């Protein structure tokens, strides 16, 4: 499979899929079976974030005549292996005779397998009938085949489903019905997840559509693995980009083989940030970690992570970071492989001066997070030697706005690209979804979700990035993509085991191993 996949416009996606399938029914059938199975397996996992499955789970498919309906039916067929008493309903917007032959074949198989547990209903009968709760609703009406406007019948159907409070999870395939390039209908299906099998569709990643597509899951398919290197800047990363990190370590290795990371973090108000960044680094495989944290309280937190070495840095009388921290950190640079600055730091004039000096003068590969993301620090980056290691920034949207400046549009991808080129950085913009930019590409990462929307999650990610960068700074973009994907996959693993509500940030840590090995 590919490490990156281009994001296609709807027209380009249709053209590419046609060029691969070549109108061949056997190829089309194989693609539909592959897509449907991948959708079923992804749904099997994602539903666990909400609840355990019942063997008699109730699923409603909103169907049309095309292959998206076929994908949805194959997905349910795959689920039958795990949910043998599944109750399936298909609300069809067309007569069965109008469906594509491949869709009718899958429909026939499901009728045979499910018997009375499968019912096909017209839109009119569904809207007039009694309200029945469903664990899952799958929107397979249109996908790429939608041309506005929605018919009144389909709009009424989508309006009713969108308004229901007794649906567990809403899923769309390719695109929510009613959404197309540059526009959406008032009654567009509102999804919790949108699954994109094989070919990434650009509208799913546009910020204005986030409330319709929900969380995007890109599903790799072998049939579409050979995607051309398009003349484009927008990509989606493989959801398996982190798998390469999990490999046998050489027998002739020791702790120094896996990097020595330095961390400048923490303050009296936020000591936990230093702890979580350090835990993230250690769980991401760093061989050695030295944490520099203000001396007035470091002995209170040093014992919380005994695997790290803790070094106090002096404070001035007013409680700000003493510039002598530059000398103390520089003494450790020769044997170190990467440096993280920012989590939990109390940023004032003296601390800013000290951080700017370290950023300018220290040649190590560098991760800047949280309080270290200021315009003064950005100016210091420009003073780094051209031979210095790569710089990774990890802002959330508010921090990105802070370093960009008040007059700049934080939603403009051209401004993001220009910013990264100007400062020679790789920027990880945490959000929905997280995007990575190196000044030449903008890459969407589709692992992770709201389970990560809690304080400290970014500190763990920053520590992980520092650890991985110290072990592989020759390919920094590849390292950042794999690490961000890994962090998100661990969040998915945690959410599927315990939900996304009643957990804490550090509950993520044991799932880093699970996400890497599963």
Q: Which of 258-267, 312-321, 348-357, 454-463 has the least mean pLDDT? A: 312-321
Where does the pLDDT of residue 66 fall: very low under 50, low under 70, confident under 90, or very high at 90 and above?
very high
pLDDT of residue 229: 67
**Structure tokens, 98:** 């109008």
Does position 201 have pLDDT exceeding 70, yes or no?
Answer: yes
d(CA 353, CA 355): 6
Where does the pLDDT of residue 360 fall: very low under 50, low under 70, confident under 90, or very high at 90 and above?
very high
Residue 285, annotated as binding a ligand: no
Residue 389, annotated as binding a ligand: no
Supply φ then ψ for residue 289, to 5 degrees. Answer: -135, 130
d(CA 249, CA 281): 17
Average pLDDT (436-440) is 97
Contact residues for 58 (Cβ-Cβ < 8 A; gap 6+): 86, 87, 88, 89, 132, 133, 134, 135, 136
Supply φ then ψ for residue 175, to 5 degrees. Answer: -150, 145
Distances (CA, A) of 5 to 160, 171, 325, 387, 492: 35, 22, 44, 31, 21
Residue 70, annotated as binding a ligand: no
Does position 458 have pLDDT exceeding 90, yes or no?
Answer: yes
Residue 431, annotated as binding a ligand: yes
Average pLDDT (308-332) is 87
Residue 438, annotated as binding a ligand: no
3-class SS letters over 443-499: EEECCCCHHHCCCCHHHHHHHHHHHHHHHCCCCHHHHHHHHHHHHHHHHHHHHHHHC
3-class SS letters over 129-198: CCCCCEEEEEEECCHHHCCCCCCHHHHHHHHHHHCCCCEEEEEEECCCCCEECCEECCCCCCCCEEEEEC
DSSP H or E run through 77: helix 67-79
Gyration radius of the chain over CA positions: 25
Averaged confidence pLDDT in the chain: 95
Supply φ then ψ for residue 7, to 5 degrees. Answer: -90, 120
Does position 300 have pLDDT exceeding 90, yes or no?
Answer: no
CATH code of the domain made up of 257-517: 3.40.1190.20
Where does the pLDDT of residue 1 fall: very low under 50, low under 70, confident under 90, or very high at 90 and above?
confident
Q: Which of 41-45, 299-303, 498-502 has the least mean pLDDT? A: 299-303
Where does the pLDDT of residue 230 fall: very low under 50, low under 70, confident under 90, or very high at 90 and above?
low
Where does the pLDDT of residue 456 fall: very low under 50, low under 70, confident under 90, or very high at 90 and above?
very high
- pTM of the predicted protein model: 0.96
Residue burial 496-514, b: 16+ Cβ < 10 Å; e: rest = beeebeebebebbbebbee
8 A C-beta contact, residue 486 and residue 509: no
Average pLDDT (78-102) is 96
Residue 287, annotated as binding a ligand: no
| Other Cβ atoms closer than 10 A to 361 | 16
Residue 459, annotated as binding a ligand: yes
High-pLDDT (> 70) share of the chain, %: 100
Q: pLDDT, tens digit, for every residue of 131-190?
A: 889 999 999 999 888 999 999 999 999 999 999 999 999 999 999 999 999 999 999 999
d(CA 204, CA 176): 9
Taking alpha carbons only, the member of 421, 427, 418 closest to residue 399 is 427
pLDDT of residue 408: 84
pLDDT of residue 338: 97
Residue 499, annotated as binding a ligand: no
Enumerate the domain spans of the chain. 4-48+55-232, 257-517
Q: pLDDT, tens digit, for every residue of 362-388?
A: 999 999 999 999 999 999 999 999 999
Average pLDDT (225-231) is 75
Where does the pLDDT of residue 28 fall: very low under 50, low under 70, confident under 90, or very high at 90 and above?
very high
Residue 432, annotated as binding a ligand: yes
DSSP state for residue 322 in the 8-state scheme = P
Instruction: Choose the CATH number for 4-48+55-232 among 1.20.5.510, 3.30.40.10, 1.10.287.180, 3.40.50.10260.
Output: 3.40.50.10260
Residue 433, annotated as binding a ligand: yes
Contact residues for 206 (Cβ-Cβ < 8 A; gap 6+): none
């Amino acid at each position: 499979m590919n490490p990156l996949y281009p994001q296609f416009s709807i027209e380009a996606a249709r053209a590419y899929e046609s060029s691969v399938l070549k109108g061949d029914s056997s190829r089309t059938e194989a693609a539909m079976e592959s897509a449907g199975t991948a959708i079923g397996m992804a749904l099997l996992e994602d539903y666990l974030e909400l609840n355990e499955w019942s063997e008699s789970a109730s699923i409603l498919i909103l169907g049309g005549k095309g292959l998206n309906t076929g994908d949805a039916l194959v997905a349910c067929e795959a689920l039958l292996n795990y949910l043998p008493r599944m109750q399936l309903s298909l609300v069809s917007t067309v007569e069965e005779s109008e469906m594509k032959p491949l869709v009718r074949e899958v429909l026939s198989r499901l009728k045979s397998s499910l018997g009375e547990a499968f019912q096909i209903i017209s839109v009119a009968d569904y809207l007039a009938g009694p309200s029945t709760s469903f664990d899952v609703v799958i929107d397979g009406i249109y996908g790429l085949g939608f041309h506005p406007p929605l018919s009144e019948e389909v709009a009424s159907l989508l309006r009713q489903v969108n308004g229901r409070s007794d649906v567990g999870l809403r899923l769309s395939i390719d695109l929510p019905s009613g959404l197309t390039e540059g526009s959406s209908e008032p009654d567009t299906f509102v999804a919790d997840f949108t699954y994109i099998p094989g070919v990434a569709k650009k509208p799913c990643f546009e910020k204005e559509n986030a409330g319709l597509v929900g969380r995007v899951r890109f599903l790799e398919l072998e049939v579409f693995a050979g995607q051309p290197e398009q003349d484009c800047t927008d990509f989606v990363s493989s959801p398996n980009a982190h798998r390469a990190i999990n490999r046998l370590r050489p027998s002739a290795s020791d702790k120094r083989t896996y990097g020595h990371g330095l961390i400048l973090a923490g303050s009296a108000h936020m000591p936990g940030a230093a702890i979580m960044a350090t835990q993230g680094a250690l769980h991401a495989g760093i061989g050695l970690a030295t944490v520099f944290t203000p001396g007035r309280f470091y002995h209170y937190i040093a014992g919380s992570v005994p695997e790290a070495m803790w070094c106090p840095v002096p404070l001035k009388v007013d409680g700000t970071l003493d510039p002598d921290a530059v000398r103390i950190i520089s003494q450790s640079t020769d044997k170190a492989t990467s440096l993280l600055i920012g989590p939990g730091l109390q940023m004032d004039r003296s601390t800013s001066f000290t951080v700017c000096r370290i950023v300018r003068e220290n040649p190590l590969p560098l991760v800047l997070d949280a309080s270290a993301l200021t315009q003064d620090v950005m100016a210091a980056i420009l003073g780094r030697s051209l031979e210095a290691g790569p710089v990774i920034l990890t802002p959330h949207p508010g921090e990105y706005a802070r370093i960009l400046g008040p007059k700049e549009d934080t939603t403009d991808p051209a401004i993001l690209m220009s910013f990264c080129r100007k400062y020679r950085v790789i920027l990880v913009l945490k959000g929905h979804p997280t995007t990575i930019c190196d000044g030449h590409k903008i890459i969407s990462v589709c692992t992770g979700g709201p389970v990560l929307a809690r304080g400290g999650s970014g500190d763990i990610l920053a520590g992980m990035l520092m650890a991985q960068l110290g072990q592989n700074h020759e390919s920094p973009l590849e390292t950042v993509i794999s690490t961000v994907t890994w962090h998100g996959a661990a969040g998915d693993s945690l959410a599927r085991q315990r939900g996304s509500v009643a957990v804490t940030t550090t509950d993520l840590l044991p799932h880093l191993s699970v996400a890497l090995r599963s």
